[in-house]
Structure formats: C-alpha cells, structure tokens
Amino acid sequence: MAKKASSKSLKVTNKGHRKSAGKPTVKRGVSKPKLLSGGNPQIAKADGDGPVQAYIDAMPGWKRQVGRQLDALIDRCVPNVRKAVRWNSPFYGTQENGWFLGVHCITKYVKVAFFNGASLRPQPPVSSKNEGTRYFHIFENDPIDEKMLASWIKQATKLPGWESFNC
C-alpha cells in the first residue's frame, strides 16, 4: 500500500505544481550524447564550431584524440573553415565550394570522408558507393600522416563539394 504524503511535506506553488517543501531544487547536469552503432555520437544538426566540439568531446576512447587532431589540422589548413554537424557527423566546408570533408566514428576506426576525393592526388585509399567520394580510415595506434592529410585537405577545399550548407 502506498504511503500517503502528509500536507506538511508537500506544498503547492503558484502554478499549481507540487514540490517538496524545504528541499533545494536539484539541477540536472548536461547528459552525455547517446552513442549510436559503432560508437558514433548522436549530436543534433547544427552549424558552427560548438556542435563539432560537442561531437569530438563525445567520441569514445582513443577516437576523441583523433578527432581533436583532425579538427586542429583542418583549422590550420583552412583558416575560415565552416563547421557543422549533419547526420551525426562533423562536416567541414568553405563558403566558395561547400562541404569537402566529413568525420564519422565506426566500431574499429574513424572514417574521414573526402566528398570529392576521387579528384585528389594521390587518392585516399578507400572507395565508396558514391564514385566521387573516397575515405581514409584511422585505426587505433595508427600514426597519422599529417603531411598527406594536409595535402588532401588543401586540395579538397579547391574542388566543388556539397554546395548547400542547408543539408
């Protein structure tokens, strides 16, 4: 049988809601984003550096450092880079040519997608169902060849990417 609350332990606010008397309101902290399959953080669609940093901060384990390293490299290579989260993945682009790169967590690696990667020289090593897209996979403990990635990033910014920032 449920115990009936005494009238002394509850009070009614001016909006008609009950709350415990004498107990301070507990503010809930910001919860961590849900991890989808493969450990990919679920981050709402949004523009700017903030949502991208939230994604990177939510990347699990060793992938977080890879995300930070990639983001810093992109910032160095593309001074006015546009950032956003689309489809639970950080996207990077330029005003002139649209989105050129996306990042996604997969169970055993971080996938870097170059949306016009088939035009890069040399091409990133992994093909896609989309004939223009090429991928570069970064596995745990892989050394990151920043010189090669920087070359691809700089080339990609000069090529047509996804033109719409409203995707």
Is the pLDDT score of 115 beyond 50? yes
Say which residue the tokens 């690696």 belong to. Answer: 109
Query: How far apart, in Å, are the Cα atoms of 136 and each of 73, 104, 106, 109, 123?
Result: 15, 11, 12, 10, 9
Q: Give domain status of residue 164, yes or no.
A: no
For the chain, the average pLDDT equals 84
Q: Give domain status of residue 61, yes or no.
A: yes
Summarised one tens digit per residue, pLDDT across range 134-153 is: 999 999 999 999 999 999 99
Identify the CATH number of the domain in which residue 86 sits.
3.90.1150.200
Is the pLDDT score of 8 beyond 70? no
Q: Which two tokens stand for residue 87?
A: 């489809």
Is the pLDDT score of 30 beyond 60? no
Q: Give domain status of residue 57, yes or no.
A: yes
Q: Give domain status of residue 64, yes or no.
A: yes
Domain that holds residue 96: 34-157
> What is the arithmetic mean of pLDDT over 72-87?
96
Q: Which two tokens stand for residue 127?
A: 């093909």
Q: Give domain status of residue 4, yes or no.
A: no
Is the pLDDT score of 13 beyond 90? no
Q: What confidence tier does 46 reach under pLDDT thresholds 50, 70, 90?
A: very high
Number of domain units in the chain: 1
Is the pLDDT score of 92 beyond 90? yes
Q: What confidence tier does 21 reach under pLDDT thresholds 50, 70, 90?
A: very low
Q: CA torsion 129→130→131→133, rounded to 10°?
A: -110
Q: Give domain status of residue 26, yes or no.
A: no
Q: Give domain status of residue 17, yes or no.
A: no
Q: What contacts 124, CB < 8 A, 6 or more positions away? A: 112, 114, 117, 134, 135, 136, 152
pTM for this predicted structure: 0.79
> What is the arithmetic mean of pLDDT over 15-23?
43
Is the pLDDT score of 12 beyond 90? no
> What is the arithmetic mean of pLDDT over 36-48?
89
Is the pLDDT score of 130 beyond 50? yes
Q: Give domain status of residue 103, yes or no.
A: yes
